[in-house]
A = this chain, B = another copy of it.
Amino acid sequence: MDDAWTGPTVGQLGELAVLDRIVRRLPAGAPDVGPGDDCAVVAAPDGRFVVTTDMMVHGPDFRWAWSSPADVGWKAAATNLSDVAAMGATPSGLVIALAAPQETPVAVLESFADGVRAAVDALSPGCGVVGGDLSTSAVFTVSVTAFGDLGGRAPVLRSGARPGDVLAVSGELGRAARGLARLFRDGVDAHGEPSRSATVASGADTDPDVDRQRRPVPPIADGPRAATAGATAMLDLSDGLAIDAGRLARASRVTLDLDIDPDADGVAGADDLALHGGEDHGLLATFSPGVALPGGFRRIGAVVARGGADLVRGGEPVPTTGWDPYADWDGAAG
């Protein structure tokens, strides 16, 4: 484990003292009214705001054997910011509710806060944590709600793709899944349980793919860029290209035709992971033909009229099913 797992515990210090130590480490942003009143007040100059919420639970969503507290803070922020970006919005604030076992060292929560700050600074500078809540639970649980401003643009929904549009992706494909596969292979003990020492001894701990699994790098700024460029549909790639493309196809009542090998792009190296690996949190979007693709977007296919399948490649249907390596795991272990 890392240094965060020592020192006084949450139960020893009490909620107020813990909050005081955490809040100062979080990115403050510039809300009209921040933590300390019944609510925060956040600017919404557009007259609307977008909102998303996501809960991460120790066991099904992360393991301390594989991720540091700062990694979990990073990922909790990054995945929610990505959902905001996928609407074409610019993140304007986060609120974080966290429940930790009483015996959790306060340093773990401080490190978690440092991870949140690092993610916001790297991915969406200026987006503050405007409020939160601290509770006790036997299971370490984080719930993040993120807001964003549309800047006067229409939200980019999943349902707007039209035949003839270009299908494009921003961000890496398959790296987070490759990292998780490495952890499941090399980061476990003789009984198959996640193990910190096995993760370190095998070298998995310093594998750049493992780093991507722990700290996804969603292209947040490409969300508003896509909206400005006139993206007709967009979503966040959380469950893998195939399953998320299937969602976009069904919402838009079109078929998506992949016209390159995703791994010819050089980002995955393994075709199956690029198509089916989740948690990269890139953006999948469609654009009218002729639009100059903005930011990191590159063409991977086209939108065609609704056929039998949601997703095809070389004329063959691609299953739009996800890949969930945790599905059969005991959610309370590890």
Q: Residues on A close to B: CB < 8 A?
A: 32-33, 36-57, 59-61, 83-84, 86-87, 89, 93, 95-99, 102, 130-133, 135-139, 141, 143, 145, 147-148, 150, 155, 157-158, 234-236, 251, 331-332
Structural contact, A32 and B60, CB atoms closer than 8 A:
no
The 8 Å CB contact of A132, one of B53, B102, B155, is B53
Structural contact, A139 and B139, CB atoms closer than 8 A:
yes
Nearest CB of B to A67, in Å:
17
> Which residue among A39, A57, A150 has the maximum number of chain B CB atoms within 10 Å of its CB?
A39
Give bound CA distance, A135 to B105, whole Å. Answer: 25
Closest to A233 in B: B37
Structural contact, B138 and A55, CB atoms closer than 8 A:
no
Structural contact, A138 and B136, CB atoms closer than 8 A:
no
Known: A48-B44, A57-B99, A136-B331. A33 touches B155 (CB 8 A): yes
> Which residue among A44, A98, A131 has the maximum number of chain B CB atoms within 10 Å of its CB?
A44
Known: A41-B48, A57-B99, A155-B41. A137 touches B141 (CB 8 A): yes
Known: A48-B42, A83-B39. A95 touches B145 (CB 8 A): yes
Tell me which residues across on chain B come within 8 A of A36, comparing CB atoms: 158, 251
What are 20 residue pairs bridging A and B, where the CB atoms are less than 8 Å apart in the complex?
Answer: A32-B48, A33-B50, A36-B158, A36-B251, A38-B86, A39-B87, A39-B155, A42-B48, A44-B46, A49-B147, A51-B93, A51-B131, A52-B95, A53-B95, A57-B135, A99-B141, A133-B143, A138-B138, A138-B332, A141-B141
Structural contact, A157 and B33, CB atoms closer than 8 A:
yes
Structural contact, A57 and B155, CB atoms closer than 8 A:
no
Tell me which residues across on chain B come within 8 A of A40, comparing CB atoms: 50-52
Give bound CA distance, A1 to B157, whole Å. Answer: 43
Closest to A44 in B: B44
Structural contact, B50 and A150, CB atoms closer than 8 A:
no
Tell me which residues across on chain B come within 8 A of A83, comparing CB atoms: 38-39
